[in-house]
């Protein structure tokens, strides 16, 4: 197991490096630059700014300095757009926000999704099954960018129960709508995957054997069916978690939470090179990390898998 982790981590480093170099090259080949605007800066002003941010250096030197800074000082550089903030500042401030409601969305999506899926599988072809499938299909067609405006309309404008956005240090009223909007479609996917994989497991020989032995249903479900049924769900959860945390761009923008999503999108429009790089690396590293965690959980759940 340890050697497996070590092997995976050694592969992760070059993967990240390739990501860094590719993003760096793509970014600089995009037209425009962080200091382009409708009113071009006078050359002498632009020269001062470019010197300050090291943009007057040759390309290879910039990338070398950047990678050196990231590896040895964990320094992702200054933001080009936000004049007195570094990328580290931006991530340190925005990421905990995104992480907070991303985490709660994950908890909600998994709890509700798995419960719905299991309930539907156990009562296949009953009203409960139809209801659960109905809910999950309904939720599937409500991605976050559709959910968010609906929630805003209902809870803020019509009912006046919840604030329409902001963060306020993470008070619960401010969390409700982002969490619902973000978790709905993930919840639906989890419910569907759980249902179908549970159904499959329930029809296998070892479950039939357990039933024949006269084991109580509760024990069969929890002890024997749950683990194998969760495997497909688990492989979905890794990317889903990363997706929730980082793909919450729409939620960040819609509910103006101050999370990193807003910075991510704006940095791309404004060519804020260092912020694009910083967040890309963060997302890349998270993806690699969670895939690794999922692989390890696999081994724990399924004794057939050996590393």
Partner 1 sequence: MKITQKFLATTAIGLLAMSSVVYADSHATHPETGEALASDQTFTYRVGDESPSYDPGVVEDTYGAEVVRDLFEGLYNQDAAGNLEAGVALSHNVSDDNLVYTFDLRDDAKWSNGDPVTAGDFEYAWKRAASPELASPYAWYIELMSLENAAEVIAGDMDPSELGVTAIDDTTLEVRLSQPLPYFAQMVTHGTTFPVHQATVEEHGSDWTLPENIVSNGAYVMTEFVPQERIVRKRNEMYWDNDNTIIETVVKLVIPDENVALTRYLAGELDRTDIPAGQFPRLSEQYPDQAMSVPEACSYYYMFNMREGAPEEIQDPNVRKALSLAVDRDVIVNNVLAAGQKPAYTFTHWATAGFEMPDVPMASMEQAERNEMAVELLEEAGYGSDNPLTVNLVYNTDEGHKAVAIAISQMWKQTLGVETNLSNQEWQTFLEARSNGDFEVARGGWCADYNEASTFLDLMQSGSGYNDSKYNNPEVDALLANAKTADNPQADYDKVEEFIAQDTPIIPIYHYAADYMYSANLEGWPFENFEQNWYSRELYKIAE
Binding site for partner 1 (CB under 8 A): 30-33, 35-42, 44-45, 47-49, 51-52, 81-85, 90, 93-94, 149, 152-153, 156-157, 160, 163-167, 252-259, 262-263, 266, 269, 271
In the block, which residue shows the tokens 């109905």?
134
| Shortest spacing between CB 68 and partner 1, in angstroms | 22
Q: What whole-number distance in Å separates Cα of residue 207 and Cα of residue 87? A: 53
Nearer to partner 1, 34 or 243 (CB): 34
| Shortest spacing between CB 152 and partner 1, in angstroms | 6
Q: What is the CA radius of gyration of the chain?
A: 24
Both tokens of 94, joined, read 């925005």
| Shortest spacing between CB 71 and partner 1, in angstroms | 24
Nearer to partner 1, 195 or 271 (CB): 271
| Shortest spacing between CB 76 and partner 1, in angstroms | 16
Q: What whole-number distance in Å separates Cα of residue 99 and Cα of residue 95? A: 6
| Shortest spacing between CB 124 and partner 1, in angstroms | 42
| Shortest spacing between CB 59 and partner 1, in angstroms | 18
Both tokens of 176, joined, read 């409700």
Nearer to partner 1, 89 or 295 (CB): 89
Do the beta carbons of residue 183 and residue 106 sit within 8 Å?
yes
Nearer to partner 1, 194 or 257 (CB): 257
The alpha carbon of 224 is separated from its chain's Cα centroid by a whole number of angstroms, namely 31
Nearer to partner 1, 97 or 191 (CB): 97
Do the beta carbons of residue 195 and residue 133 sit within 8 Å?
yes
Do the beta carbons of residue 70 and residue 19 sit within 8 Å?
no
First and final C-alpha spacing in the chain: 6
Bridge partner list, 86? 78
- Cα distances (Å, whole numbers) of residue 42 to 46, 52, 53, 73: 6, 16, 17, 34
Nearer to partner 1, 90 or 180 (CB): 90
Q: What whole-number distance in Å separates Cα of residue 107 and Cα of residue 296? A: 20
| Shortest spacing between CB 200 and partner 1, in angstroms | 43
Q: What whole-number distance in Å separates Cα of residue 45 and Cα of residue 66? A: 24
Nearer to partner 1, 217 or 256 (CB): 256
């Amino acid at each position: 197991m340890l050697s497996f982790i070590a092997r995976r981590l050694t592969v992760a480093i070059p993967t990240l490096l390739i990501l860094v170099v590719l993003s760096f090259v793509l970014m600089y080949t995009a037209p425009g630059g962080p200091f382009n605007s409708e009113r071009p800066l006078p050359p002498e002003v632009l020269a001062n700014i470019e010197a300050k941010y090291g943009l007057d250096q040759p390309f290879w030197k910039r990338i070398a300095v950047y990678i050196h800074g990231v590896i040895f000082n964990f320094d992702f550089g200054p933001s080009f757009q936000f004049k007195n903030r570094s990328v580290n500042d931006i991530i340190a401030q925005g990421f905990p926000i995104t992480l907070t409601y991303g985490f709660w969305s994950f908890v909600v999506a998994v709890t509700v999704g798995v419960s719905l899926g299991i309930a539907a599988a156990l009562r296949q072809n009953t009203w409960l099954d139809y209801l659960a499938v109905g809910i999950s299909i309904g939720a599937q067609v409500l991605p976050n960018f559709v959910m968010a405006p609906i929630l805003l309309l209902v809870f803020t404008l019509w009912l006046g129960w919840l604030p329409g956005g902001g963060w306020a240090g993470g008070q619960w009223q401010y969390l409700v709508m982002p969490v619902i909007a973000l978790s709905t479609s993930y919840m639906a996917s989890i419910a569907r995957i759980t249902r179908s994989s549970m159904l499959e497991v329930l029809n296998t020989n070892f479950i039939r054997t357990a039933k024949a032995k006269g084991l109580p249903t509760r024990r069969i479900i929890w002890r024997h069916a749950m683990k194998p049924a969760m495997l497909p769900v688990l492989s979905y959860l890794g990317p889903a978690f990363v997706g929730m945390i980082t793909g919450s761009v729409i939620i960040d923008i819609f509910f103006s939470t101050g999370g990193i999503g807003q910075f991510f999108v704006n940095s791309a429009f404004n060519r804020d090179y260092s912020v694009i790089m910083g967040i890309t690396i963060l997302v890349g590293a998270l993806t690699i990390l969670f895939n690794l965690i999922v692989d390890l959980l696999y081994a724990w759940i399924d004794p057939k898998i050996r590393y």
